[in-house]
């Protein structure tokens, strides 16, 4: 079995195991009819073109802006999209991924694979001049970090990563010990993923970390990424979480203070209404008392006038009586 067949078999097993755990519509982008026939799914739709290389076919659909209408009729959405031996050959993978995103359900998964340029066989074959040029001419992604950053910048993230390994053997390569000494081979074997020939990704929507953080960390080779640097990222993450927590606490206090302020303002407003009510009641009582006192003065004045009139009447009456008595006395005198 050739190396390509082995990789296809492993990738197919990963895909089939995943499809057994999910349901929904499945889209496969591939010209490999044998691979397509090996996938077991009741809702499988295949995007292919037997007359063209599949990457060229998709590039043409992207160029004519007709990819979406070719894979998603009547706004059909897919729960699983399988990209077989394709991502590295497409001229505009970012545009391709954007179109896939538009036809992928919110919780859907894209399954794809890329080759690892830094596999030990490729590196030593490159050194001795015994490697196909097609990989270097067509591949858009040379290593894992490069592809992860591409996904992150496209608002995607890896939900699962499988490393397909192929151990190094110098026999079929017939290495010249003077050109590739054993010490160099042992040194290269210390590099992480030196024996990984292919990565199989399961991809979901949304970012897992910021592109800046991912780009910064990718500048450090994994075998030289110091524990202190990892500790820095962990502390930085904790610091971010503590800031978010602090902001939530501050927002809670601000809300509580605002509620208390609103309550106090409401209470003061109510107090002002009560005071205004009391002031109005006092004014009404004051006006009533003043009116009553004024009325009382009028009554007293009226009584005083009436008493004075009666007093004047009595005095006039007494004078009249005295006048009559005086006249009576005179009359009696003359009568004698």
Q: What is the pLDDT of residues 13-38, one digit of tens each?
A: 999 999 999 989 999 999 888 888 88
pLDDT of the residue at 255: 85
pLDDT digits (tens, 9 = 90+) for 34-56: 888 888 888 899 999 989 999 99
Q: What percent of the chain has pLDDT over 70?
A: 80
Give the start-to-end residue ranges of the domains of the chain.
3-221
Residue 97 banded pLDDT, cuts 50, 70, 90 = very high
User: CA neighbours within 13 Å on the CB side: how many for 294?
Assistant: 6
Per-residue pLDDT, averaged over 89-105, amounts to 91
- Do 61 and 91 touch, CB atoms closer than 8 A? no
Per-residue pLDDT, averaged over 60-72, amounts to 88
pLDDT at 138 exceeding the cut of 80: no
Residue 59 banded pLDDT, cuts 50, 70, 90 = very high
DSSP for 286-330 reads HHHHHHHHHHHHHHHHHHHHHHHHHHHHHHHHHHHHHHHHHHHHH
Rounded distance, CA 156 to CA 208, Å?
8
DSSP for 163-175 reads EEE----STTTT-
Lowest mean pLDDT among 27-41, 85-99, 140-154: 140-154
Give the predicted TM-score (pTM) of the model.
Answer: 0.60
Domain 3-221, architecture per CATH: 3-Layer(aba) Sandwich (3.40)
Residue 134 banded pLDDT, cuts 50, 70, 90 = very low
pLDDT digits (tens, 9 = 90+) for 201-230: 999 998 766 666 656 555 555 544 344 445
What element of type H or E holds 82?
A: strand 78-83
pLDDT of the residue at 234: 60
pLDDT digits (tens, 9 = 90+) for 223-281: 443 444 455 446 656 766 777 888 888 888 888 888 888 888 887 888 878 888 888 88
pLDDT of the residue at 269: 82
pLDDT of the residue at 229: 43
Instruction: Tell me which of 17 and 329 has the higher pLDDT.
Output: 17
- What sign for the dihedral angle of Cα 124, 127, 128, 129? positive
């Amino acid at each position: 079995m050739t190396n390509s067949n082995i990789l296809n078999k492993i990738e197919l097993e990963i895909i089939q195991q995943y499809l057994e755990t999910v349901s929904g519509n499945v889209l496969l982008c591939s010209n490999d009819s044998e691979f397509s026939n090996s996938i077991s799914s009741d809702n499988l739709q295949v995007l292919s073109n037997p007359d063209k290389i599949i990457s060229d076919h998709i590039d043409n659909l992207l160029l004519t802006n007709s990819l979406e209408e070719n894979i998603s009729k009547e706004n059909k959405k897919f729960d699983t999209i399988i990209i077989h031996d394709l991502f590295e050959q497409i001229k505009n993978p970012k545009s391709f991924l954007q179109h896939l995103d538009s036809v992928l359900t919110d919780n859907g998964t894209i399954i794809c694979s890329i080759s690892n340029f830094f596999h030990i066989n490729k590196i030593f074959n490159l050194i001795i001049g015994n490697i196909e040029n097609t990989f270097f001419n067509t591949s858009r992604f040379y290593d894992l970090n490069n592809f992860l950053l591409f996904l992150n910048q496209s608002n995607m993230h890896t939900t699962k990563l499988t490393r397909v390994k192929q151990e190094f053997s110098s026999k079929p390569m017939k290495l010249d010990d003077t050109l590739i000494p054993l010490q160099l081979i042992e040194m290269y074997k210390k590099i992480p993923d030196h024996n990984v020939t292919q990565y199989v990704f399961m991809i979901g929507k949304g970012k897992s970390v910021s592109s800046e953080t991912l780009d910064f960390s990718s500048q450090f080779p994994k075998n030289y990424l110091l524990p202190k640097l990892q500790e820095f990222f962990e502390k930085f993450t904790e610091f971010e979480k503590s800031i978010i927590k602090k902001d939530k606490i501050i927002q809670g206090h601000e809300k509580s203070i605002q509620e208390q302020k609103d309550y106090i303002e409401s209470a003061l407003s109510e107090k002002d209404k009560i005071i205004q009510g009391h002031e109005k009641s006092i004014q009404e009582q004051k006006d009533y008392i003043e009116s009553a006192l004024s009325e009382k003065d009028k009554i007293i004045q009226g009584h005083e006038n009436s008493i004075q009139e009666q007093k004047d009447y009595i005095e006039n009456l007494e004078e009249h009586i005295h006048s009559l008595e005086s006249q009576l006395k005179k009359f009696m005198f003359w009568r004698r």
